[in-house]
């Protein structure tokens, strides 16, 4: 998850208000009291949660010496880096050495570039502006998710009842759109795109904040390439929502509902390998076909093709590990 910092020096109440409304993680200010009067957020100030010169350093890059100084300081805390010509900051060198680099930027375009350096990007950006509109534009860039999932078609080989079991509805704090859903899998090596409950149907009103994601044991793809068991999700957790083009965004879990329901086992293959997913057996549960259309599990049949993604297998506490792990 990338961090969104906003610089309020000298004091800019409108900028701080816009930052809080845009989900800023941190405000850099001359003192913390005015910031805390507007909302609860981490503050970098002499009397704040973090302090310049103790937890956070500011380095203007002017050559190799200042670059090396920034890299050294990053061993002890965050380093905000800037330069006269922002585009020549050697961010690649710094990002390769540290996960604590915060790039000083002035607009959404600069933020987007910094977040993509060496693919993994900087840890976050510090927006320096007096324009509340730029704050909102930059916040949208930071929070929309820089990760992409390469979606590929899986061919359904079987779909059949799997008895009763506990399934998980993930209710998010965001309104999901048609074509969006969560990537869920029986194993950590492959995930199918389970569509959000955004569509009208004769049985129940749409719940566009919800994904009826699957059985309790299944993995859901989370930010940073991590996974979580559906049964472990709780209010406040962050998960990835993925669109049919592979674009992602992070959303916050507001509630998790686990209830006993009839289940279906969906078996599918991609690249000649078999995979599977257990879902609730109900008309409102949908996968996404290769044309991007939501298809109910009660309509899907062997031979149909649905979207998903293949990942490196093997997980330890949700993180990918390079070891031999067999999942069936």
pLDDT tops 80 at residue 17: yes
Q: Give the pLDDT confidence of 116-155 residue by residue, as tens digits.
A: 876 678 899 999 999 999 999 999 888 876 667 889 999 9
| Strands 315-316 and 56-60, bridge-based pairing | unpaired
Q: Give the pLDDT confidence of 18-53 residue by residue, as tens digits.
A: 999 999 999 999 999 999 999 999 999 999 999 999
pLDDT reported for residue 62? 85
Beta-bridged to residue 78, according to DSSP, are 56
pLDDT reported for residue 85? 65
pLDDT reported for residue 316? 41
Question: Which has the higher per-residue pLDDT, 276 or 147?
Answer: 276
C-alpha span between 301 and 295 (Å, rounded): 10
3-state DSSP assignment of residue 85? coil
Pull the structure tokens for residue 251. 């959303």
Pull the structure tokens for residue 49. 């949660």
pLDDT tops 60 at residue 324: no
pLDDT tops 80 at residue 98: yes
Pull the structure tokens for residue 279. 């879902």
Same fold, 3-143 and 152-320: no
Q: What is the pTM of this model?
A: 0.70
The CATH number for 152-320, chosen from 2.30.30, 2.40.50, 2.170.16, 3.30.1460, is 2.170.16
pLDDT reported for residue 87? 59
pLDDT reported for residue 129? 97
pLDDT band of 88, cuts 50, 70, 90 = low
CATH 3.20.20.70 fits 3-143, yes or no: yes
pLDDT reported for residue 75? 93
pLDDT reported for residue 61? 87
Question: Which of 230-234, 282-286, 302-306, 310-314 comes out lowest in average pLDDT?
Answer: 310-314
Q: Give the pLDDT confidence of 226-274 residue by residue, as tens digits.
A: 899 999 999 999 899 999 999 888 899 999 999 999 999 999 999 999 9
C-alpha span between 194 and 287 (Å, rounded): 5
Question: Residue holding tokens 């350093």?
Answer: 57
Pull the structure tokens for residue 203. 């049985």
pLDDT band of 315, cuts 50, 70, 90 = very low
Ranges of each domain in the chain: 3-143, 152-320
pLDDT reported for residue 86? 57
pLDDT tops 50 at residue 322: no
Phi, psi of 93 (to 5 degrees): -65, -40
Checking 92-99 for CB contacts under 8 A at 24+ apart, the result is: 92/117, 92/118, 93/67, 94/67, 94/70, 94/122, 95/120, 95/121, 95/122, 97/71, 98/71, 98/74, 98/123, 99/123
pLDDT reported for residue 119? 67
pLDDT reported for residue 144? 73
Question: Which has the higher per-residue pLDDT, 98 or 306?
Answer: 306
pLDDT reported for residue 313? 56
11 close to 151: Cβ distance less than 8 angstroms: no
Beta-bridged to residue 182, according to DSSP, are 194
C-alpha span between 213 and 185 (Å, rounded): 9
pLDDT reported for residue 171? 98
pLDDT reported for residue 312? 64
3-state DSSP assignment of residue 262? strand
Question: Which has the higher per-residue pLDDT, 193 or 146?
Answer: 193
pLDDT tops 90 at residue 94: no
The mean predicted confidence, pLDDT, of the chain is 90
Beta-bridged to residue 7, according to DSSP, are 28
Nearest to 1 by CA among 99, 91, 76: 99
281 close to 264: Cβ distance less than 8 angstroms: yes
* Terminal C-alpha separation, the chain: 30
| Strands 26-28 and 3-7, bridge-based pairing | parallel
C-alpha span between 167 and 19 (Å, rounded): 37
């Amino acid at each position: 998850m990338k961090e969104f910092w906003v610089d309020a020096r000298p004091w800019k109440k409108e900028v701080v208000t816009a930052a809080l409304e845009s989900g800023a993680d941190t405000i850099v200010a001359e003192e913390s009291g005015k910031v805390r009067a507007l909302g609860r957020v981490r503050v970098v100030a002499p009397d704040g949660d973090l302090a310049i010169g103790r937890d956070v350093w500011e380095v203007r890059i002017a050559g190799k010496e200042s670059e090396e100084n920034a890299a050294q300081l990053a061993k002890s805390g965050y380093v905000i880096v800037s330069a006269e010509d922002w585009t020549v900051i050697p961010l690649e060198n710094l990002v390769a050495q540290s996960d604590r680099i915060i790039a000083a930027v002035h607009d959404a375009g600069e933020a987007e570039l910094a977040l993509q350096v060496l693919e993994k990007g900087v840890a976050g950006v510090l927006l320096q502006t007096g324009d509340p509109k730029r704050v909102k534009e930059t916040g949208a860039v930071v929070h929309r998710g820089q990760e992409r999932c390469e979606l590929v078609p899986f061919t359904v080989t079987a779909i059949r009842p799997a008895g009763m079991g506990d399934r998980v509805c993930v209710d998010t704090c965001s309104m999901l759109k048609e074509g969006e859903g969560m990537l869920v899998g029986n194993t950590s090596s492959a995930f199918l795109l389970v569509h959000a409950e955004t569509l009208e149907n004769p049985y129940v009103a749409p719940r566009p904040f919800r994904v009826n994601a699957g059985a309790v044991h299944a993995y859901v793809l989370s930010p940073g390439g991590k996974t979580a068991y559906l049964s472990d999700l709780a209010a406040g957790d962050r998960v990835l929502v993925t669109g049919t083009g592979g674009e992602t965004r992070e959303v916050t879990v507001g509630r998790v509902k686990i209830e006993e329901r009839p289940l279906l086992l969906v078996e599918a293959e991609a690249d000649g390998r078999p995979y599977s997913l257990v879902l609730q057996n109900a008309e409102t549960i949908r996968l996404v076909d290769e044309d991007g259309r939501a298809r109910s599990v009660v309509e899907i049949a062997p031979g149909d093709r649905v979207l998903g993604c293949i990942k490196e297998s093997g997980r330890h506490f949700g993180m990918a590990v390079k070891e031999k792990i067999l999942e069936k």
